[in-house]
């Protein structure tokens, strides 16, 4: 091999190393810019060292008679414990970061995410960094995205985020990064799963629903019942009816034979269920007595009997005692950082 050939080979190696070094430097620069937009938190995702109670995730307890009403969470106001919707919640969510070499049109990115990210499993939120440096929630139409965060909920009433679920999200993120020439970073799987299980255990010890039932003496028309319920102060919220306090906050919901409001004309109902979902309603130190009082009023209006989940009549003398028990649970939720009726609580207790 001649000196010229050796020299050309050496020059090629130098050029290749230079290109690799430049690409590495560019990647580090973009990462630093993204970290400036998405600063890391020193907050313990296990809620400041609060020791979770023992035991696995269980169904909401106390006097539960009904499943949770999905999507029914009313917020009086955000508070210091509730992260704004425009930010990742480090307590509740595990985050995968994707940095793109060049800005990606949001339309193309949304299409790829729709095809790759699983639609089932734990809820996911997206956060974008735009070319202007602005950080925004969601995938804003007509924009381009320089960096993307995929925030995966660690736990809810269906249980903790599993290793398989996290692996699925991670694989989807890698595919998105490869498609748009990006790089992906995130926490280790074991770390995420451990945090998710601890959060789930903690939430299980704080979860509670209280149910009462109105046993009608005879089946009644759902249409007539809706009119009576409206007169009593209930309002329509989506597919359900709820009793609303003076502040405008929904305190408890009502179901017809365990279901949403019947839409079919002529439907008949033999039982009405009142449900107080503690984590998803603003704290009220008279929560049970209010619901029981409304239940007794409805019992008179509808010729019904108010009973608990064991089929026993509800004695008014027990209202104050139950109120105190629920007030203690509300206080525990606040101390844990899950303000009842807040956005954070609605994510975890859904």
- Do 182 and 129 contact (CB within 8 A), yes or no? no
Low-confidence ranges of the chain (pLDDT < 50): 30-56, 58-59, 61-83
Residue identified by tokens 């990606």 is 104
Sequence-ordered list of residues with C-beta below 8 angstroms from that of 228, at least 6 positions apart, any chain = 298, 301, 302
Half-sphere exposure of 180 (CA within 13 A, CB side): 29
Whole-Å CA distances, 105 to 86, 102, 129: 20, 10, 12
pLDDT reported for residue 121: 81
User: Which residues contact residue 199 at a Cβ distance below 8 angstroms, ignoring those fewer than 6 apart?
Assistant: 45, 46, 47, 52, 91, 92, 154, 155, 160, 348
Q: What is the CATH number of domain 75-204?
A: 3.30.1400.10
Q: Let me know how long the chain is.
A: 350
Please state the domain extents for the chain.
Answer: 75-204, 208-348
Could you tell me how far CA 104 lies from the centroid of its own chain?
28
Residues 85, 37 contacting (CB under 8 angstroms): no
Q: What is the pLDDT of residue 69?
A: 38
- The single residue listed with the structure tokens 């969601």 is 138
CATH of domain 208-348: 3.30.1400.10
Q: What integer pLDDT is reported at residue 82 of this predicted model? A: 43
CA 125 – CA 172 distance, rounded (Å): 14
Torsion from C-alpha of 185, 146, 111, 136, nearest 10 degrees = 90
| 188-237 pLDDT per residue, tens | 999 999 999 999 999 999 999 999 999 999 999 988 898 899 988 899 88
Predicted pLDDT at 70: 35
Strands (E) across the chain are located at 61-63, 93-105, 124-129, 135-137, 144-153, 155-156, 159-160, 182-185, 208-221, 234-237, 240-244, 250-256, 268-277, 304-307
Q: 304-350 pLDDT, tens per residue?
A: 999 998 889 888 999 999 999 999 999 999 999 999 999 999 999 99
């Amino acid at each position: 091999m001649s000196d010229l050939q050796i020299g050309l080979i050496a020059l090629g190696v130098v050029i290749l190393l230079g290109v690799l070094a430049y690409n590495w430097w560019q990647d580090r620069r973009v990462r630093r810019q993204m970290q400036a937009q998405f600063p890391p938190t020193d907050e313990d995702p296990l809620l400041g060292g609060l020791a979770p109670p023992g035991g696995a995730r269980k169904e909401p307890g106390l006097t539960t008679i009904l499943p949770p009403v999905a999507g029914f969470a009313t917020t009086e106001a955000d508070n210091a414990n509730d992260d704004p919707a425009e930010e990742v919640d480090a307590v509740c969510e595990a985050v995968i970061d994707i940095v793109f070499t060049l800005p990606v049109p949001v339309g193309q990115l949304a299409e790829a995410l729709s095809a790759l990210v699983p639609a089932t499993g734990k809820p996911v939120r997206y956060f974008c960094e735009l070319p202007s440096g602005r950080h925004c929630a969601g995938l804003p139409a007509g924009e381009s995205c320089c960096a993307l965060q995929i925030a995966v909920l660690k736990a809810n009433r269906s249980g903790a985020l599993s290793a398989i679920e996290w692996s699925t999200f991670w694989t989807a993120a890698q595919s998105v990064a490869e498609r748009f020439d990006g790089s992906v970073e995130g926490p280790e799987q074991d770390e995420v799963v451990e945090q998710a299980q601890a959060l789930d255990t903690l939430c299980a010890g704080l979860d509670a629903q209280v149910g009462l039932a109105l046993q009608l003496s005879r089946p009644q028309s759902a249409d007539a019942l809706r009119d009576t319920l409206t007169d009593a102060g209930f309002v329509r919220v989506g597919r359900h009816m709820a009793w609303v306090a003076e502040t405008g906050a929904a305190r408890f919901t009502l179901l017809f034979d365990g279901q949403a409001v019947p839409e079919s004309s002529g439907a008949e109902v033999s039982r009405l269920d009142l449900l107080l979902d503690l984590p998803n309603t603003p704290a009220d130190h008279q929560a049970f007595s209010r619901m029981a009082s409304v239940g007794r009023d409805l019992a008179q209006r509808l010729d019904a009997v108010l009973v608990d989940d064991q089929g026993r009549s509800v004695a008014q003398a027990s209202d104050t005692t139950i109120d105190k028990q629920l007030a203690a649970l509300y206080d525990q939720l606040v101390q844990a950082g899950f303000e009842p009726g807040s956005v954070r609580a609605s994510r975890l207790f859904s």
